[in-house]
Homo-oligomer: A and B are copies of this chain.
Amino acid sequence: MGEVATSPRRSRISPEREAELYEAVLDLLREVGYEGLTMDAVAARTRSSKATLYRQWGGKPELVARALRHNKPVSMADIDTGSLRGDFEAMVARSDDCRMEEDAALMRGLFHAIHDNPELHRALRDLLIEPELTGLNELLRRAVARGEIAADNPALEYVIHMLVGGFAAREIIEERPADQEFLRSYIDAVILPALGV
């Protein structure tokens, strides 16, 4: 099952079919939440057999994590513009305002669900959080190598905290989703100065 989780046997279904399936999973997640989502419902909605779903993804946590990864508007590992400011700008440009609002609701439900579902937590960490963190660290490593950030700048290990804070506080305190304008302003006011850029 561990192997299936990290490498689904994609060969068995077409990329189009896979995308269609992930969209259906995300729709169901938005409608009924993680607890309410059943493999039966996914099978019915996508006209698949449950056997196929289990064979292909291993289980509900992996299927949900894969669907989120498919949907994810930003992939830090693919960003490399040649400057730190450009990399952050590319990150913001990849974030679609409408999608951020939708995703915020989705992620809120999931971050609640992970506390009762260690398997979901592990799947999200392995498939969603870790790859983004690795991409972010690589992006920062290149900025250090270019001399844009001092190698011993203590804020280097807290960039993810600053980013999460931008999204979370915008929602909890300001009660509206983070949009591109907010993110640009926040990066300029907080993240770049803390990094000494």
Contacts and interface: CB of A to CB of B under 8 A. Distances in A.
A47 interface: no
Contact of A154 (B133, B161, B164, B185): B185
Given A158-B189, A161-B166, A162-B190, 20 more contacts: A108-B112, A108-B115, A111-B172, A112-B112, A129-B172, A154-B185, A155-B190, A157-B189, A161-B169, A161-B170, A161-B186, A161-B190, A162-B165, A164-B172, A164-B173, A165-B166, A165-B168, A190-B194, A193-B194, A194-B194
A147 interface: no
Interface of A: 105, 108-109, 111-112, 115, 129, 133, 154-155, 157-158, 160-166, 168-170, 172-173, 185-186, 188-190, 193-194, 196
